[in-house]
Copies of this chain bind each other. A is one copy, B any other.
């Protein structure tokens, strides 16, 4: 199907970071066919008038646990460890496939309505999440968050549940939907596993060409205890096992050292900044200006909504820009453009998906329209200022993922919100919290 956007302000995020006024962007199938200010020749099955709207790349949420939408606001006001052990882990122990499906669908609906077209997710029952993502229509790098609590000497891949999960996930889902689903290798965190798992996961990633997802240096306690146990920071310790050889994402990085940053830049490890979650859980403020100076690719994530409590990535974009200005007292820290890069091109790079996060011919048509006619986006002196500091997820009027319009003017095309709500309220919540 060929679709034309016309009369739109196109924030391309291309290499020249061009912003085109009164632009035309044509989509054919799953790809962007042309970008310019001249109307291309048709025919087009659909022409979308973008007057008063900004067309930009769909957002990349580079760290989330999408089914945790079920736990929105559950156990608020605690520190990370109390919250995990007293609230989240007991609730998660009751999750079955049907709960995960319902939670994933709910979380995906929220993401789609607020402009996300691509995610990196880490959660259990990952195949179930993959099915929900395929149905919803966005793209995802999925991982199962490998843990291993056994004694190192007892480790064997055959008896390690998450090695088995990883293998099954990769075999069934890696590359599914013409690349809509990619499977990443993953280690939940240093403190939830030990060397045999790290070695196995590193070797597995190398053998299958997979990227890696890890939580790293989220809290000071985690970072310090790792130093005490191993004499190394989480980032450097895992590197000793070859975990980063295909690159990947290190979520949080609140407490990473300058040496960690240098290593991350060298190994093409993305720091996924989750400012809302890090503040809410009192983990601290990641040194994002230092990460950028060190040449580290910085992307953005919402984390699970249980610690956010929202999947609206526009909020992370704004906070990523203003938080570091305030904390470092430098009004030039993390510019509006840099924050927008984190949520688009940097996020795409983080996931190894350089075909998204940008409006350019040949790229995947992951595109969103933002309505600039609302009072809260009027006037527009600078399109980046408005996108970063004034726009909300609720200003997204259309979400196109892989060339298909999946959300428009408040209506979901691929998802059935009534069915999702019935599953969440009728089945999942009673089962987990009833």
Residues of A within 8 A of B (CB): 69-74, 76-80, 83, 106, 109-110, 113-114, 220, 276, 278-285, 305, 308-312, 315, 319, 321-323, 325-333, 335-336, 373, 375-376, 378-382, 385-386, 389-390, 392-395, 417, 420-421, 424-425, 429, 433
Contacts and interface: CB of A to CB of B under 8 A. Distances in A.
A72 B381 contact: yes
Of A70, A73, A310, A312, the most chain B CB neighbours within 10 A belong to A73
Contacts of A110: 375-376
A385 B77 CA distance: 9
Copies of the protein in its oligomer:
2
A69 to B, nearest CB: 8
Nearest to A103: B379
B282 A386 contact: no
B76 A389 contact: yes
Given A73-B380, A113-B375, A285-B326, 18 more contacts: A72-B379, A73-B381, A73-B390, A76-B382, A80-B331, A106-B378, A279-B325, A281-B325, A282-B330, A282-B331, A282-B333, A283-B326, A308-B389, A311-B376, A373-B421, A379-B424, A379-B425, A394-B395
A337 B54 CA distance: 37
B279 A73 contact: no
A281 B322 CA distance: 8
B76 A417 contact: no
Contact of A376 (B114, B278, B390): B114
The 5 closest A-B pairs by CB, nearest first: A279-B326, A73-B385, A394-B394, A282-B331, A279-B322
A340 to B, nearest CB: 13
Given A279-B325, A280-B322, A311-B376, A336 B389 contact: no
Nearest to A394: B394
B73 A386 contact: yes
A77 B331 contact: yes
A73 B332 CA distance: 15
Nearest to A108: B375
A70 B379 contact: yes
Nearest to A112: B375
Contacts of A386: 72-73, 309
Contacts of A328: 282
Contacts of A389: 73, 76, 280, 308-310
Contacts of A332: 77
A223 to B, nearest CB: 13
Nearest to A285: B326
Contacts of A79: 331
A276 B109 CA distance: 28
A327 B429 CA distance: 33
A376 B312 CA distance: 8
A330 B279 CA distance: 10
Contacts of A390: 72-73, 305, 309-310
A280 B77 contact: no
A16 B319 CA distance: 34
A104 to B, nearest CB: 12
